[in-house]
Amino acid sequence: MTEILPPVVRPRRLRTTAAMRELVAETTLRPSQLVLPAFVREGATETTPISSMPGVVQHTRDSLRKAAVEAAEAGLRGIMLFGVPTTKDAVGSGATDPDGILNVAIADVAAEVGDALVVMGDLCLDEFTDHGHCGVLDAAGRVDNDATLARYADMAVVQARAGAGMVGPSGMMDGQVAVVRAALDDAGFTDTGILAYSAKYASAFFGPFREAVDSALQGDRRTYQQDGRRSAGEGVREALLDIEEGADIVMVKPALAYLDVLRRVADAAAELGVPTAAYNISGEYAMLEAAAAHGWIEREAAIVETLTSIRRAGADVILTYWATEAAGWLR
């Protein structure tokens, strides 16, 4: 009979009690690290549930103000706003209309919460174009990178005037951060920050978001969003270019399917003292909610584990639709 010697090294000693596990925990998850993405619908008099994202709605201006106050009181320090206009056109005119839904919503929230939240505006044309692309199209129907940059510059200034503390260029146009930074500075908004969607992938997990913003997308966005088959090095390159152009925070989107990219980007950005964000996107939210609704997983534990995994991979900031709810559990 083989004699079994007791192990000398016992890693389980650091797991014996809740106090011990808390004592040695290396990954923190705090409300202040979370940002709430929120949708506001033009002309709405009541909230509209988003069927593919249970618990998430298209807000009215009034309900958005209330949601922003709740987020601040829960300990969040950021809110990212997306507008859902009633009319769209080829160049996304509503994006640069000071009276357009996104810009008035930014003003509403900024007036409501002051400096309690960093009010962020999504800086992209996809919600405002009748073709659903993130930029203007050329005669051949392709997204025109440089013509789109001019629209982004105007959009950034309008959002800053409305009260945005940070703008989020998310269209993956080459040179977008440099153009936005120059436009903001030229208009006197030198303190307005840029959260750059630096490594944004053409993902199947964006599906529910398209419902959330009533997207009119025709075709796909594979000619400008990144290809997930490329190495993480491309994501790092995009992030470093954005930092060079003036980004204050860089971001990886989606989060869960690209945790390897997030780790690489976070390490590279940290060398330069730049924070990294990650966007826990609509499809990631929807699949967990669906599993929880069927009783297949424990909802709260799975949400916290998901967000913790994103933090462990290197995110300093997480955009998530669970932000306010999760903050309540964390507090």
Q: Is 253 a catalytic residue?
A: yes
Q: Which residues of 285-319 are buried (b: 16+ CB within 10 A; e: fewer)?
A: bbebbeebeeeeeeeeeebbebbebbbebbbebbb
Burial class of residue 272 (count of CB atoms within 10 Å of its CB; 0-12, 13-18, 19+): exposed
Q: Do residues 202 and 227 make contact, with C-beta atoms less than 8 angstroms apart?
A: yes
Q: Is 66 a catalytic residue?
A: no
Q: Do residues 120 and 166 make contact, with C-beta atoms less than 8 angstroms apart?
A: yes
Q: What is the DSSP letter of 193?
A: E
The single residue of 65, 88, 133, 253 carrying the catalytic annotation is 253
| Segments in 200-321 forming alpha helices (H) | 207-212, 232-245, 259-271, 282-293, 299-312
Cα torsion 135, 199, 324, 77: sign = negative
Q: Do residues 67 and 23 make contact, with C-beta atoms less than 8 angstroms apart?
A: no
The single residue of 181, 200, 264, 311 carrying the catalytic annotation is 200
Query: Which residues have a catalytic role annotated?
Result: 200, 253
